[in-house]
Amino acid sequence: MRRRKKEEEHENVERWLISYADFITLMFTFFAALYALSTMDMAKIERFSGSLKQAFKVIDEPIPLYEDRNKAVIEDIKKLITDVSGVSVKSDPRGVVVTFSDAVLFASGSADIKQEAFGMLEKLSKSLSNAPGRITIEGHTDNIPTSGGKYASNWELSTSRAASVLHFFITKGVDPNRFSIAGYGEYRPLTGNDTEDGRAKNRRVELVIAN
């Protein structure tokens, strides 16, 4: 028994040679790779790199996925608002944005849609039904506080105006699951509120058709 134990201990002592041999092999491989990299033909590397760039050109010049769709939506809406002043449509990072001056839709301090705007909104509701993406209706005001009216602040007025537009669209058959509303009051102005012209630009309702 004592002799067998000594033999086992002798085997354990020599095991380090295996780990050492593995380490030496790895080091040799590492330095061989470094040497190979240092002697590579740089002209061949540049040609190979150029081939890769040509093959994967789409990565350097990504295709704007929403650009064509947004152009089609904008053109469709422009046809509906050609003869309507105070309404514009454009594309921005949020998506397609339709902007209504407040005077087009509402009387001062009111969230009741003017009857003369019904026809234009009805046509727009059909276009929105065909447009892909979620739609947010945003209400915005200038910085003049509300006073003596139905609404305690511009928050309530801007939100109620957005809700009125949504309710109109729902009566025309749009899918309410695609819509949301937001009221920002005076806190997302397009320009300064120092002049009447600036305040008029800030009083608006925006339809944002998301990308």
> Over the stretch 115-132, which tens digit does the pLDDT of each residue have?
999 999 999 999 999 888
Which pLDDT value is given to residue 11?
Answer: 54
2: confidence class by pLDDT, cuts 50, 70, 90: low
Cα Dmax for the chain:
110
Residues with Cβ < 8 Å from 6, sequence gap 6 or more? none
Across residues 187-198, what is the average pLDDT? 96
- Helix extents (H) in the chain: 2-13, 16-38, 42-55, 57-60, 67-81, 102-105, 118-130, 154-171, 196-202
- For 25-60, write each residue's pLDDT tens digit: 877 777 776 666 666 555 655 665 666 566 555 455
Phi, psi (rounded to 5 degrees) for 189: -75, 150
**With pLDDT > 90 as the criterion, what percentage of the chain qualifies?**
59
Residue 143, both tokens = 């910085």
Residue 6, both tokens = 């000594």
Across residues 169-177, what is the average pLDDT? 95
Residues with Cβ < 8 Å from 204, sequence gap 6 or more? 99, 100, 101, 102, 140, 190
How many residues can be counted in the chain? 211
How does strand 87-92 pair with strand 95-101?
Answer: antiparallel
Distance CA 156, CA 118 (A): 23
Which pLDDT value is given to residue 58?
Answer: 47
Which pLDDT value is given to residue 120?
Answer: 94
Residue 193, both tokens = 């509120």
